[in-house]
Structure 1
Amino acid sequence: MIGDPGGGFVSPTFDQVIRIGRPVTPENGGERKPVRIEEVARIAGVSPITVSRALHQPGRVSEEKRLKVQQAVEVTGYASNPHARALRSGRSNIVAAFVSNIVSQQFGLAVQGCAEVLEPRGFQLMIGQTSYSYARETSMIQSLLALRPAAVLFTGVVELEENRSFLRELGVPVIETWAFPPDPIDMLVGFSNTDGGRMVAQHFAAQGYRRVAFIGRSGGRGLLRLAGFRDGVRSAGLKLVAELSLDTVSGLSDGQRALNQLLDSHEKIDAVFCANDLIAMGALLEASRRGLNMPGDIAIAGFGDSDLAAEIPPGLTTIRMDCRQIGRRAGEMLLARLNGETDGSSSETVALELVKRGST
């Protein structure tokens, strides 16, 4: 939930996460593709994970649902992945945690929170870094066949349809985080990046800034935060002077270079929204190096509330979420599923808060 100006709460906005590689079907002009588990689930009126359980662990599914799945399988001619089917026995106590950036404080807190829940119950987290790379993500997901994990955690959401289907076929609990799409693979603990971007635009407007700019990654959550920022800018009557997209973000120098490029290319910018704190802190350092007064000459806001956000003068205004709570809640949901206490897809969100500091 997020706060509204009246002191109440409003429901979070769904993030319109991109989906890459949707299957081509005869209806949209291509050759017929193998039936996917999502189609069986749609016809049966159940979740994809329930289909997987009905096929591989029928004792964990009610008779009514099992019969619906069986009928849907017969109608569609669905044939499950034999490699995934082989996973139904001999799983380990490993929970595979795929982290977008292993040096991120926010992701580290989430993984730590998840471990605090799972490890006392005999599970161990094994961490891999995807580095925001589709190729790395695909390779690591495919390695799950050999690892045979008890469950899978992502600090993000999976965009490739092939990988989404692969994960559903594994028949193990999968939990995604850090966004709020309407169609998670299985379970989700996230927040609306769209709302976060909108909150920054509203804050800029309330502070009297009129010419604003955006810096963020060219894909993933960067695009979601940009979408919300654009919407907030339009609603507040601000002028979006520039949008600068970065293919990768690996250090403070990326933010420094980005701010340089913005300031060298545009005559006047009142405020800049950086889609993560790493970019924003680099921008703060560069603005200081140039001798700019913040927020008098330029205002800068970030997203994430890292520890350094309050320490780099004059202090970074940013969007805060409880990262450890994201991880703890993810661990609790996984544990409940692994213990057979819950079944079916579920989504939860955590609150976002704008923390105002001297940079705006």
Structure 2
Amino acid sequence: MKKSDTAPESTLLPRPTMEDVAREARVGRMTVSRALNQPELVSPESLAAVHAAIERLGYVQNLNAGSLASNKSRIVGAVIPTIEHPFFSDTISGLSQALALNGYQLLLGQSNYDPAEELRLFDAFVGRRVDGIMLIRTSAPAALVNRIRRCGVPVIEAWDTSNDQIDMRIGFSHREAGAAVARYFAGKGRRQIGYLGSVDVRSSQRLQGLREGAKQSALPKIEAVMLDRPSGINDAPQLLAELLERRPNLDALFCSSDMLAAGVLFECQRRGIRVPQDIALMGFVDLPIAAATHPGITTIRVPSLEIGKLAGAMLLDFLDGKRPADPRIDLGFTLVERGST
């Protein structure tokens, strides 16, 4: 391929300024500023001329200037473990909806379940002077706890209501969800209960609750197989095989997610294990796949979308000077019974 002797000319044009808009609209710069920030002070004719000029030039207002003047960025940061799981995506959707209704935008980062990355993202958001942060944390190292307490912006922790909250918190009790599953299985006459999941903090809390509930119901010790990373549908064959090797008489199984439960259901069908006759199966969250399988998967439904919406509302109220009367909101959960149990 023959190289050109001259570099191609750029097709990009200089970024238009407020002065360019003023000249195009045949008004003063102050009129343009008022049209953007206080349109009620501008005559309809001038307002129409300014907006027409903005459209022709492709002008975008410099929001940093207003942020410096008001000491507000109108941006909220969110740190979540991953965007791959639909339940976290629902929470982010709810948060984004609540913020957008009030003229705020969302800055998103995912920690990939890495505490060090979680801390780096938190510091980056504070450094960029966001107005608030929603955090779905994976751990609670002393450095992160100290940052939350001293960052100078409101922080709301989502997806959990444990007693170790630092600022505001909204979600539900993972321990109580696990205990509810144990009581449910006991009520169905199941005794040999297993758990499949990962070692992240929320999954571990559900396992703790499952064990507490089993003890209260006089059931044998829970057998658990845990991955050191997030578990998914493709992990089901390996995890189920290991669990059955440890507990051959398994008759009930709680999975840390509906996707993992669906994988277990498919593996049971491949092995000729009957669900629910041989093994009663439960998932967690109530994703669409839980209702789409045959049999449908009994699960713990959690209010993923509502968590995001209310987290946004709490942050906005705080920024408006209204500290919530109760900084800890427990939205609870619902056990949804289907054919797998």
Q: For the superposition of Structure 1 and Structure 2, which TM-score range results when normalised by the shorter chain? A: 0.7 to 0.9
Instruction: Report deviation, 1:256.
Output: 2.7
Residue 321 of structure 2 is matched in structure 1 by: 340
Deviates more, 1:295-304 or 1:89-98: 89-98
Further displaced range: 290-299 or 275-284: 275-284
**SS of residue paired to 2:160:** coil
User: Does the 8 Å contact 1:186/1:345 carry over to 2?
Assistant: no
Distance, in Å, in 1 between the alignment partners of 2:255 and 2:324 is 39
1:210 aligns with 2:191: yes
Residue aligned with 1:180, SS? coil
Given the alignment of the two structures, is residue 321 of structure 1 paired with residue 333 of structure 2, yes or no?
A: no
Match of 1:275 among 248, 256, 261: 256
In the alignment, the residues of structure 1 paired with residue 249 and residue 275 of structure 2 have an alpha-carbon distance, to the nearest angstrom, of 14
Match for 2:131 among 123, 144, 150? 150
Distance in 2 (alpha carbons) for counterparts of 1:205 and 1:281: 22
- Give deviations 1:67-117, integer Å, cap 9, x for gaps: xxxxxxxxxxxxxxxxxxxx9984422111112120221111111111111
| In 1: Cα distance, 2:92 partner to 2:164 partner | 23
Letter in 1 for 2:295: P
Match of 1:77 in 2: none
Aligned to 2:9: none
Tell me the secondary structure at the aligned position of residue 323 of structure 2.
Answer: coil
How many angstroms does 1:275 deviate by?
A: 2.1
Give yes or no for contact 1:109–1:327 (8 Å, CA) kept in 2: yes
Task: Name which of 166, 181, 184 aligns with 1:200.
Answer: 181
Q: Which residue of 1 aligns with 2:31?
A: none
Write the deviation string for residues 110-166 of structure 1: whole angstroms up to 9, x where unpaired.
111111111121110111111111121122112124321111002346511211211
Match among 290, 296, 312 for residue 309 of structure 1: 290
Q: TM-score, normalised by structure 2?
A: 0.76
Aligned partner of 2:223 in structure 1 is 242
Partner of 2:333: 352
Secondary structure at the aligned position of 1:98 is classed as: strand
CA–CA distance in structure 1, aligned partners of residues 69 and 276 of structure 2: 58
Deviations 1:22-79 (A, max 9, x none): xxxxxxxxxxxxxxxxxxxxxxxxxxxxxxxxxxxxxxxxxxxxxxxxxxxxxxxxxx
User: Is 1:157–1:177's contact at 8 Å kept on the other side of the alignment?
Assistant: no
Change (3 A) 1:151 1:102: same
Equivalence for 1:136: 117
SS at structure 2 position matched to 1:240:
coil
Structure 1 stretches of at least 4 aligned residues deviating more than 3 Å after TM superposition: 87-91
CA distance in 1, matches of 2:254, 2:69: 47
Spell out the pairing of 1:105-116 with structure 2 (5 A cutoff).
Answer: 105-116=86-97
Q: CA offset at residue 261 of structure 1?
A: 1.4
Change (3 A) 1:258 1:157: closer
Higher relative contact order (CA 8 A, sep 6+): 1
Corresponding residue SS for 1:210: coil
Measured against aligned partners, the alpha-carbon deviations of 1:299-352 in whole angstroms (never above 9, x if no partner) come to 111111111111122111111122111111111110000111226871111021
238, 261, 278: which one pairs with 2:242? 261
AA partner of residue 128 (structure 1): G
Gaps of 5+ in 1: 1-86
Distance 1:138 1:255 in 2: 31
Residue 164 to residue 88, structure 1, CA distance change in 2 (3 Å)? farther
Matches within 5 A, 1:170-189: 170-189=151-170
Q: Is the CA contact (8 Å cut-off) linking 1:304 and 1:319 kept in structure 2?
A: yes
Distance 1:278 1:247 in 2: 17
- Residues 241 and 352 (structure 1), Cα distance of their counterparts in 2 relative to 1, 3 Å cut: closer
Structure 2: 5+ residue runs without aligned partners?
1-67
Distance 2:73 2:239 in 1: 45
Return the alpha-carbon distance in structure 2 between the equivalents of residues 191 and 157 of structure 1.
16
Determine whether 1:285 maps to 2:266: yes
1:300 paired with 2:312, answer no
Q: Is the 8 A contact 1:157 1:179 kept in 2?
A: no
The 2-side partners of 1:117 and 1:173 are apart by 16
Give the whole-Å Cα distance in 2 for the aligned partners of 1:305 and 1:314: 14
Q: Tell me the TM-score normalised to structure 1 length.
A: 0.72
Change (3 A) 1:349 1:311: same
Asked whether the 8 Å contact 2:171–2:332 carries over to 1, the reply is no
Whole-Å separation in 1 of the counterparts to 2:331 and 2:325: 20
Listed as ranges, the matches of 1:32-51 within 5 Å are none
- Partner of residue 222 from structure 1, selected from 203, 206, 230: 203
CA RMSD across the alignment: 2.0
Answer yes or no: is 1:232 the counterpart of 2:208: no
- Rounded to whole Å, the distance in 1 between the matches of 2:235 and 2:100 is 36
The percentage of counterpart residues that share the same residue type is 36
Tell me which of 68, 73, 86 is aligned to 1:92: 73
